[in-house]
Amino acid sequence: VGSKINLNSGGSAGSGSGYAGSAPLLPGGVEPAKTITEVQSSNIAPTKEAQNALLKESDNQDDFLSKFRFSS
């Protein structure tokens, strides 16, 4: 079945049994692939609007940011 190799057969470089291997064979007894008919698309409508923000914008951002400013 398939191609064969003689890997790690022992001996030093240049010596060995002289394994010639065998040519790869075509697969036999394989059923042909079935063709697929037209793929049906799903009936899901795309969204038209982005999701609303989960957090509201603060009116007093300057007060909040002042906590992180360094005073000199």
Q: Is the dihedral of CA 58, 60, 64, 65 positive or negative?
A: positive
Dist. CA 62–CA 57, nearest whole Å: 12
Supply the pLDDT for residue 52.
Answer: 75
Write out pLDDT tens, residues 5-62.
666 666 666 666 666 666 777 777 778 888 888 877 777 777 677 777 777 776 666 6
The predicted model scores a pTM of 0.17
Supply the pLDDT for residue 11.
Answer: 64
As a whole number of Å, the CA-based R_g of the chain is 36
More confident call, 1 vs 4 = 4
